Amino acid sequence: MHIRKGDLVEVICGDDAKTRGKVLSVDRKNKQLVVEGVNRVYKHVRRGHPKSPQGGRLHTELKIDASNVMLICPQTGKPTRVGVRFAADGTKELFAKVSGAKMRDIAPAKKKV
């Protein structure tokens, strides 16, 4: 899974389809993400609750499966599939499949002995 905290993603299916948001947290073991503004639920709390002393409804985002989101290409601004390649200097990088734009470095170049 190539999605990290802070990445911009778009939901591709479900109730929140075509919604873009920033990744707030990643659970790699269960392949789930929490995306800002997606899968929002409300919890009703009584008065005296530490987060809401006056009571009311607290909203929070729940996890969604990583297969339901796509990374946004920095060049085109559209959702894209991603791949991994080695650059000319030996660094391993993540790139957008359609445009070929570099998204970020994954690993530095290996030192030759």
Dump pLDDT digits (tens) for 42-78.
Answer: 988 888 878 778 888 888 899 999 999 999 999 999 9
- Its pTM stands at 0.83
Query: What distances in angstroms separate CA 64 from CA 3, 32, 38, 71, one per listed residue?
Result: 13, 5, 8, 14
Q: Which fold has domain 1-72?
A: SH3 type barrels. (2.30.30)
Determine the pLDDT at residue 111: 82
Q: Average pLDDT for residues 90-113, to the nearest whole number?
A: 91
What are 61's strand-pairing partners?
40
Domain ranges of the chain: 1-72, 74-113
